[in-house]
Structure 1
Amino acid sequence: MKHRGRHRRQRRGKALRGALAGTALALTAAATIVSASQAVSSDNPGPLKPVTSAAELANFQLKEHLASKSSLDRLATSMGGTVGVSTVLERTNRTMRNTAECAPTETEALPVAPTATRAYCWDDADSASQRWLPQSVTTSGDADEDGRWGANRVILSGWTHNDAKPDEPTVSQGLARVAVVDANDLSNMTYRWVLLVVPTKDGSDYRKLSSSISGMVWYQDKLLVTASPTDSDHKSLYVYDMNRIQRTSVDSPAVGKVPGGWSAHGYGYVMPAVASYSLTGGTCDPASDDRTPCFGSLSLDRSSTPDSLVASEWFPSGADQRSRLWRYSFSGAGDRSGLLATNALGRADAVEAYSTKATGIQGVLSYRSAGDEKADWYIGHAPGSKNRHGTLWRLDAEGAKAARCGTDEESRRCWAEHAESLSYWEGMGEVWSLTERAADERAGWRGTPVPERVLYAVPLSSITGSLK
């Protein structure tokens, strides 16, 4: 479920590969979940159309805003200093369930084809919570080429508070949190939540993010997340420093400084934003058909030179607009780790952009295989209705191909149900994604939740082999 958009939107190393090959799970049972009659076709989006005019490319330009180090240090000092990812991993308090422990409704949400070789379900406290929506994923395979952050293998998953759920208290609305998952042992993964916050300019306090993190990329020491069009500071992206995780001291529903210390809605850790990016053309407007893009999904492309941040926008399935896909280069400067490449005015320009007829884009990925002249673009299409598998498309200038679970034209709905963002862990050769739903049987938020949330990985080779 997206809570963002423009016109008519709802908003919504090789060594590792060898070491991990023996841990892959055979999830062939998922292939029997959906019959050919259920796997109905979606319209072929056709070839990508390059965006080449300077005027159109200017719509993607970002302005960088860096928080002052002194204000960040002031906040950190007042909270007792900073900790790193390893500290959070040492204190994980929730357990991922392996495939055999997942409920039938959870495994049924997995892709039909190509089948997942790893799949996990969330702790019981989170698997059926209607208050939260899992929407994005990134890994230490994005953060560093060796696939580890320090000595640890880590997965991050971004969850947004479900503000559409009736009767949610105001203090909960707009919250955004990240599951920091210990993936050192892929058969026994645990995690802990960290709340994302935005510090005041002087570093004396912080507020909740108040944005939907539908896209998220961990690159070097930074975590970039999407912001909603309704963001109070009119930002499109927020940036977090993985070395600036801070402990809270008061367990209360509040977010920020409270009598006796610091609170984060009951969470033990927060990450304050250290930078942000806004569109120079103004804030994107969900209610108007302007040319300013609203950020939907994000991913990292390590096959580009330099490494780049890939983005997509979202329209409802079947809308008549053309969605756009675009990228920014990351900076190569030693003092700008994890930040985008900018000019002397602090502006980041899109280095490539395309439009596509595809709508309902919930995940985007770009990757150029060795020997190929250009990158292929992968998008995950999610239908609007409940209990329907989506479609995974590969797009290029020649046309579109879909991963299929059959041989006829009615076999494209083979991707996961309500799948969200995509992340390619190059060292493992796997595309990671996750599903979102825990709605009731009517796809509403008042009845008994139906758990359909799963974190899974599919080899990129299996995806390319299933394309027809």
Structure 2
Amino acid sequence: MKHRGRHRRRRRGAALRAVLTGAALALTATATLISTSQAEVTEDPGTLKPLTSAADTGRLRLQERLVPARTLDRLAASMGRPVGVDAVLRDADRELREAADCSAGDRASLPVEPDPARAYCWDPADTATTDWRPASVTTSGDADDDGVWGSHRVVLAGWTHSTTAGRPGERGLARIALVDADDPAHLAYRWALLVVPVDGGRDYRGLASGITGMVWYENKLLVTTTAGSADALYVYDLDRIQRTTADAPAIGRVPGGWSAGGYRYVLPAVGSYRYTSGPCAAAGPPCPGALALDRGTAPDSLTAAEWTAPGGDRPARLWRYAFSTDPARAGLLATDAAGRADPVEAYRTRAAGIRGVLSYRAPGADRSSWYVGQLPGTQDGHGGMWRQDTADARAARCGADASERCWAQGAGSLSYWQETGEVWSLSDRMLFALPLAALDGSVD
């Protein structure tokens, strides 16, 4: 198991890329005809406008709130010694299928342009209904720059349950799929339910929140929360996964042990970040809808995009926070002595319905490019993908009419795996990866 407080700099990129290239799936075009509704052109969001005034940046200030160590230790003492990611992956009980073995409906949800290099659909047991929907992704390429965590290459996918459908006990909850991605042709996964310790660690409750964005950095997992929540982000520790000891419908302590509504693993929150100016709102702090890691800054940074209604005319904000470089604060944001995190960069964009964000500065470039994946105004069909900076805005285009609705259906977040040069994302039906170079080429 690797040391958590630092990055290993082993370079295995050439061999790994050869494996990935050899295993890459040449996908057929997912759409030969684009419907009239899909061919509608998205309004150009224009260039990014820097936000520098104290009034603008002050709304983005966060207050860190860490769960006391005694609370986490009390929970672990009662549930048993925490386990790590490797232990969960050894217990994987579901498989992802390669695109060739997925339904035409699944494949139709993939981007039209650029074509994914690899794509996978989930175990049918998880897609038989739409009660649970995937929305966010991060990888061990975010967690550590050599791309490996413990002894595995890992993808994490965040799913959120409907607030109205399915079993009442699951409504509005969040879970993550821990995916063993060592073999690109055979991906297997296991679920863990996200929970929050209560009563000083004597119990826990399910996290009732939509996780449309998440980033795994060092041993911490940061996830977005539902609009209107007092907290903007929740923080989890991947070294503190707990096994449940009872199989019951309830979530939390039950007679005879600990249960999570049928899930074998739970991940208890270790902290959160709350806006100092109050819950997110249209006129106040932005509701973060997408997150990503940017390793091109010094120090590494967390990028975020504001959620606004698809097709609306309210501008959205893009911004970033620096990660702490203190080994004792691995995976947490940089804060002042009072535990406050201020943005180090912020912009306004006219893009709406942003579900994916990625910031990347190419070698030799004088500024970063921001990629934003959008839902369509109708919230149905393919979305758009734009690359923006302070001087330009370009869209991926497809079809004879050069439609800008070329990105995935029900698009999810974006995660750049630096070592392999891949961008991972999700549609509402599939998990997929494509080279950043292909994404960049599609918007030139």
TM range (shorter): over 0.9
- Structure 1 distance, partners of 2:204, 2:95, is 29
Q: Answer whether contact 1:36 1:406 (CA < 8 A) is retained.
A: no
Task: Verify: 1:247 aligned to 2:239, yes or no.
Answer: no
Conserved in 2, the CA contact under 8 Å of 1:155 and 1:181? yes
Superposition pairs of residues 356-371 of structure 1, within 5 angstroms: 356-371=349-364
1:48 alignment partner AA: L
Residue 35 (structure 1) shift: 6.7
Q: TM-score, normalising length from structure 2?
A: 0.94
Pick closer, same or farther for the CA change 1:58–1:92 going to 2, 3 Å: same
Q: Which residue of 2 aligns with 1:153?
A: 153
Question: 1:19 — aligned with what?
Answer: 19
Which residue is equivalent to 1:92?
A: 92
* Structure 2 counterpart of 1:434, from 420, 426, 435: 426
> Equivalents in 2 of 1:50, 1:241: separation in Å?
33
Find out whether 1:177 has 2:153 as its counterpart.
no
Partner of 2:433: 457
Aligned equivalents of 1:46 and 1:164: distance in 2? 37
- Deviation sequence 1:314-363 (CA, Å, 0-9, x none): 11122121100000000000100000000011000000000011101111
Instruction: Report the CA distance shift for 1:37/1:56 in structure 2 as closer, same or farther (over 3 A).
Output: closer
**Are the aligned partners of 1:159 and 1:178 in contact in 2 as well (CA < 8 Å)?**
yes
Separation in 2, partners of 1:277, 1:314: 17
Amino acid at match of 1:358: A
Shift of 1:55: 1.6
Structure 1 residue 95 displacement after superposition: 0.8
Does residue 347 of structure 1 match 2:340? yes
Equivalent-residue separation in structure 1 for 2:265 and 2:131 (angstroms): 19
1:270 aligns with 2:263: no
Q: How does 1:111-126 map to 2 (within 5 A)?
A: 111-126=111-126
| 2:412 is the alignment partner of 1:420 | yes
Q: Give the structure 2 partner of residue 55 of structure 1.
A: 55
TM-score with structure 1 length normalisation? Answer: 0.89
Q: Measure the CA separation in 2 of the matches of 1:37 and 1:268.
A: 43
Contact 1:111–1:415 under 8 Å retained in 2: yes
CA shift for structure 1 position 425:
0.9
Letter in 2 for 1:177: R
Q: Which of 252, 258, 272 matches 1:256?
A: 252
The AA in structure 2 aligned to 1:184 is: D
In structure 2, the partner of 1:197 is 195
Superposed CA RMSD in Å reads 1.6
Q: Which runs of 5+ in 2 are unaligned?
A: 1-11
The CA deviation string for residues 406-441 of structure 1, in whole angstroms up to 9 with x for no partner, is 475x421111111111111111111111112xxxxx
Q: Identity over the aligned pairs, expressed in percent?
A: 55
Q: 1:367-446, aligned counterparts within 5 Å? A: 367-385=360-378, 387-406=380-399, 410-436=402-428
Q: How does 1:302-321 map to 2 (within 5 A)?
A: 302-321=295-314
Any conservation in 1 of the 2:286–2:307 contact (CA below 8 Å)? Answer: no
| Amino acid of the structure 2 residue aligned with 1:179 | A
Say if 1:39 and 1:414, in contact at 8 Å, map to a contact too: no
Gaps of 5+ in 1: 1-12, 437-452
> Per-residue CA shift, 1:25-50, capped at 9, x if unaligned?
11132253537984331111110000
Q: Give distance in 1, aligned partners of 2:157 and 2:414.
A: 11
Letter in 1 for 2:247: D
Q: 1:198 & 1:257 partners in 2: Cα distance?
A: 13
**Would the aligned equivalents of 1:121 and 1:127 in 2 still touch at CA under 8 Å?**
no
